Each structure stands twice: as structure tokens, then as C-alpha cells.
């Protein structure tokens, strides 16, 4: 049985989990049960945890958009930082310290301005955003509860993990959606920020398996989960277009740079400064040797497969609903 927390909103915000309902049309729950709650409300967390008495808790709740965290800095700290403390405190209040296993979604953004390449569990942290700083508090409060109360609590330091369900304003999904629309003739051009940011991109499906594996071990430990491969935003754009039969040629410099279609001569990509972050994280590359050795985990989906899957899914989506 899986229990989830859903925030109250005046519009439906369960689009990404619709397929998990017993009856998606009627929102009838089967083995998945949803409870109204919020990481900023400790009373509801105590109530839900006390009622459900879970054996495992995965804290995947966060304001997780790095760029937006600069605009919503206090809210990000409240949800991503203090929200984690509220969950841990709720476990303690409900007397479940000895029976529950806790997974914290930590992030490669903790490494920010990287202190060594590649980044592993022992690499010093240097967050470069309110999101990274809030997640750093969460990371250490998890370690503290593990050491102070002997709670089985782990941090999964996951590098970027993507899928067709990624939020529409994240760069990978923005690219796959826009390329799909261009392919179907619904769009001519879209704008991006820093084309040269480099990331270690994996598939969410692989990474969620790693989360589960961390809670099946004898001793609670923190793990870096990554592919070890690095690709730029520029490369993600090129591969996405290649999949629909277009070759992108880059012209110009900095914010005047454009991506032109070699076959048609049309400009499909421009650069807009508003998508740049006040402090940029230029390069992230993970070393998941520890996870390979201790969890017997390795990524299965390649970068090329991930790009193709995302573009194909969005072509299908936009074909059925151009306004999606």
C-alpha cells in the first residue's frame, strides 16, 4: 500500500499520478491512498503518520525548481529545509523511531560550485541557490536524527533525473515539449538560458529503484546516485531535434546565439537572459561507485534513450492535445 500527501489546490494537481488511480476518470484510489496535507503544516503530518503508521517514508516533497527558489527563497527554505525537520519530528512524536525507515531526497545541487570532479559522498558541499541551501539543512538534520535517535534515515544524493513526467518548466521537459510542438507545426521557436550548463542526466525510473534499495540495507548510509556521464543543455537540444530529423546549427555568441535548422534555415532556438540564474552551477558529474558496490545498483537507461523517450511522449501528448 502506498500513501501520499497531496496539497490542497483550487485546480487538480494530480496529473502526474493519474495513471496510478484504480479508476483515473473518477479519481478512485486503489492501493494508493492520498491524504490532504502540507510540509509547512506539522499538525497534519503528525496526524497522517499516526494514522497510516508507515514502514517506509520517502520525502520527495519540495519546491524543487532551482531558478524559482531565488524568487521564493523563504518558501523554499520552509518546505525543503524545515519541512524535512517537521517530518522527522512527526516520526518521533508518533513513537515510530524504531519501526520506520526514512528516505530524504537530497540533491546534486548541494555540490553547486563543485570542489572536485566527479562528486561523491565525501565531496565538500557548496550550494549556489536558496534551493541548494535549504536542501543542505535537510541533509544535515537527517544525519543528526540518525545519530541522535538511531533512526534508520538516509540521504539519496541524486543527480538530475528526468522522464516524460518532468514538470513543464524544467529545461529538459521544456526542450522535449518545444521540439514536439515544432515537429507538429504548432510552434516555430523557443528560448532557453545557459546552453553550456553541463549535467549528469539519468532516468527517474532507475533512480527511484535506487531510493528503494537504500531502505533495504542493513545499515542506513547516504549514497550518490548518478550515471557518471555529462552532457550540456546544448547537446540535449541537438539530440532532441535529431530525433525528429532536424540538424541544429549554432550561430552567434552569448545571448545573441541562435539554433538554426540546417535543413530549412529556420531559427528554432534563441537565448534569453531571464532564464539565467543569479549564481550558476556550471558542471555536475556524479560518482556512484559506492551505490554500485553496496546496493548493486547501476543506471540502465542511456542518455540517448532518455531524450528519445521524452520527445516521443511529448509528440504523442501534443498530437492529442495541442494546448497541453
Lookup result for grid cell 530525433: 243
CA atoms within 13 A on the CB side of 133: 13
pLDDT at position 120, please?
A: 97
φ and ψ of 231, to 5 deg: -135, 150
Domains held by the chain: number: 1
How far apart are alpha carbons 82 and 180 in whole angstroms? 39
Q: Is residue 21 part of a domain?
A: yes
pLDDT at position 29, please?
A: 87
Q: Which of 86, 128, 94 is nearest to 109 (CA)?
A: 128
Q: Is residue 10 part of a domain?
A: yes
Q: Is residue 29 part of a domain?
A: yes
Residues belonging to the active site: 107, 109, 131
Stretches where the chain sits below pLDDT 50 are none
Q: Is residue 104 part of a domain?
A: no
Determine the structural domain holding residue 9 and report its residue range: 1-36
Q: Is residue 91 part of a domain?
A: no
Q: Is residue 222 part of a domain?
A: no
Q: Is residue 60 part of a domain?
A: no
Q: Is residue 207 part of a domain?
A: no
Amino acid at each position: 500500500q502506498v500513501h501520499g500527501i497531496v496539497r490542497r489546490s483550487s485546480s487538480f494537481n494530480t496529473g502526474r499520478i493519474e495513471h496510478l488511480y484504480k479508476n483515473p476518470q473518477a479519481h478512485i484510489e486503489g492501493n494508493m491512498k492520498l491524504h490532504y496535507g502540507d510540509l509547512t503544516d506539522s499538525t497534519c503530518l503528525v496526524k497522517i503518520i499516526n494514522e497510516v503508521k508507515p514502514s517506509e517514508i520517502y520525502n520527495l516533497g519540495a519546491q524543487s525548481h532551482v531558478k524559482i527558489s531565488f524568487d521564493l527563497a523563504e518558501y523554499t527554505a520552509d518546505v525543503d529545509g524545515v519541512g524535512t525537520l517537521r517530518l522527522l519530528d512527526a516520526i518521533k512524536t508518533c513513537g515510530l523511531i524504531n519501526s520506520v525507515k526514512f528516505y530524504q531526497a537530497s540533491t546534486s545541487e548541494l555540490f553547486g560550485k563543485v570542489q572536485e570532479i566527479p562528486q561523491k559522498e565525501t565531496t565538500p558541499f557548496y550550494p549556489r541557490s536558496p534551493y541548494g541551501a535549504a536542501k543542505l539543512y535537510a541533509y544535515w538534520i537527517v544525519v543528526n536524527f540518525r545519530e541522535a535517535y538511531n533512526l534508520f534515515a538516509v540521504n539519496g544524493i541524486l543527480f538530475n533525473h528526468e522522464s516524460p513526467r518532468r514538470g513543464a518548466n524544467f529545461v529538459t521537459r521544456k526542450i522535449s515539449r518545444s521540439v514536439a510542438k515544432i515537429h507538429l507545426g504548432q510552434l516555430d521557436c523557443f528560448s532557453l538560458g545557459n546552453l553550456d550548463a553541463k549535467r549528469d542526466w539519468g532516468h527517474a525510473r532507475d533512480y527511484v529503484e535506487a531510493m528503494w534499495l537504500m531502505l533495504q540495507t542493513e545499515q542506513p548510509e547516504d549514497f550518490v546516485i548518478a550515471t557518471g556521464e555529462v552532457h550540456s543543455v546544448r547537446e540535449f537540444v541537438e539530440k532532441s531535434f535529431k530525433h525528429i530529423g532536424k540538424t541544429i546549427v549554432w550561430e552567434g555568441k552569448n545571448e545573441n546565439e541562435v539554433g538554426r535548422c540546417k535543413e530549412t534555415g529556420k531559427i528554432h532556438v534563441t537565448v534569453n537572459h531571464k532564464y539565467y540564474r543569479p549564481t550558476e552551477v556550471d558542471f555536475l558529474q556524479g560518482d556512484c561507485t559506492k551505490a554500485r558496490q553496496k546496493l548493486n545498483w547501476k543506471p540502465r537507461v542511456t542518455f540517448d534513450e532518455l531524450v528519445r523517450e521524452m520527445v516521443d511522449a511529448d509528440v504523442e501528448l501534443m498530437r492529442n492535445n495541442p494546448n497541453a
